Chain A
């Protein structure tokens, strides 16, 4: 079986990197829940069913600071609003069938949506979305199981710099998109809104409001982006 679909911009290096990153982060997330006293089976179940560490970690954080279970669940939902927006963003590129899109919604994450959006054709976007969802979710689940088994033997994830992996991955996904003034402004405004609102607002709200930056795309672009035409030549599989 092909690892990545032919005729798309997706490279094997990108797929492996995302798999590696999500695998590693899933291990550390499991360790965090383990140390909070969660049953190993529940940790694995949470990874499989909730399919979002943002939600489970938010719950754990609220509970650790003395919040009620209801507050924890509401907070977990709130921090995940971005997945709903990401799902809406990729929806027009996916299948016309609502049921099919609803099934695909289960694995709406940041990098698979962003890489699928990069495709020129809707068919390419569908193939990249499905492929990358598998490349992301399967290592994510595997990492969760391994995290439960190795537990605290891993040591402090921060000592290994693992907390820099997600933002670094997102930098690698975002950077090639910053071609021209408009995307740079959207990215900068999104980051500024989130940073500006993070202290006064509850978790999740700053990211939700950062989507306002996307309104900069509302006016008709001045000229068709010339940068999109030439595909970068250095996208060879790298690892």
Chain B
């Protein structure tokens, strides 16, 4: 159960990290190679988060209906279907796989 105190504590820590990330970097003094690494970070993070949200639950590796949904999403993205189709198809396939299981 969240309380206002907990919310405040979480907010300070979360915003603090975001602001630190933004403010610590001095764009003018950043070498090209490190700029490339920074630019690659969202890809590494998104890919990691996607893998975790597909294959884990509560910090444990789990294979379930989501794998079908994300498989369908990969197919949609590969066929360059609109993003909306990709998201809705993934949810529908996951729901269908669960209903059939």
Over the window 133-162 of chain A, the binary record of Cβ atoms lying under 8 Å from chain B Cβ atoms (1 yes, 0 no) is 000000000000000000000000011111
* Chain A interface main SS type: helix
- Please measure, in the bound complex, the distance between the C-alpha atom of A203 and the C-alpha atom of B46, giving whole angstroms: 15
A1 at the interface (CB under 8 A from B): no
Contacts of A31 in B (CB 8 A): none
Contacts of B54 in A (CB 8 A): 164, 167
Contact of B70 among A73, A168, A189, A193 (CB under 8 A): A168
- Please measure, in the bound complex, the distance between the C-alpha atom of A212 and the C-alpha atom of B73, giving whole angstroms: 26
- Residues of B within 8 A of A (CB-CB), count: 79
Given A20-B87, A86-B42: A102 touches B93 (CB 8 Å cut-off): no
Contacts of B92 in A (CB 8 A): 161
Quick check: A92 and B30 within 8 Å, CB to CB? yes
- Residues of A within 8 A of B (CB-CB), count: 110
Quick check: B37 and A215 within 8 Å, CB to CB? yes
Considering the complex, which residues of chain A in the window 39-65 have a beta carbon less than 8 Å from any beta carbon of chain B? Answer: 39, 42-43, 45-46, 49-52, 55-56, 59-61, 63
Considering the complex, which residues of chain B in the window 1-54 have a beta carbon less than 8 Å from any beta carbon of chain A? Answer: 1-4, 6-11, 13-15, 17-25, 27-28, 30, 33-54
Contacts of A38 in B (CB 8 A): 1-2
Contact of A171 among B40, B42, B50 (CB under 8 A): B50
Quick check: A86 and B30 within 8 Å, CB to CB? no
Tell which of B59, B74, B95 has the most Cβ of chain A within 10 Å.
Answer: B59
Given A42-B4, A77-B10: A165 touches B91 (CB 8 Å cut-off): yes
Contacts of B55 in A (CB 8 A): 195
Considering the complex, which residues of chain A in the window 5-56 have a beta carbon less than 8 Å from any beta carbon of chain B? Answer: 13-14, 16-18, 20-21, 33, 36-39, 42-43, 45-46, 49-52, 55-56
* Chain B contacts to A: CB under 8 angstroms: 1-4, 6-11, 13-15, 17-25, 27-28, 30, 33-56, 58-61, 65-66, 69-70, 73-74, 76-78, 80, 82-87, 89-96, 98-99
Report 18 cross-chain contacts, Cβ distance below 8 Å, ordered by A residue. A13-B83, A16-B84, A42-B4, A87-B20, A96-B28, A105-B23, A113-B42, A117-B39, A161-B91, A167-B54, A177-B43, A183-B43, A186-B40, A186-B47, A210-B45, A214-B38, A214-B44, A219-B33
Q: A88-B22, A168-B91 are in contact. List 4 more A-B contacts (CB 8 A).
A: A16-B84, A186-B44, A186-B47, A195-B55
* Chain A contacts to B: CB under 8 angstroms: 13-14, 16-18, 20-21, 33, 36-39, 42-43, 45-46, 49-52, 55-56, 59-61, 63, 69, 72-73, 76-77, 80-94, 96, 98, 101-102, 104-106, 108, 110, 113-114, 117, 158-177, 183, 186-195, 198-199, 203, 206-207, 210-221, 232, 234, 238-239
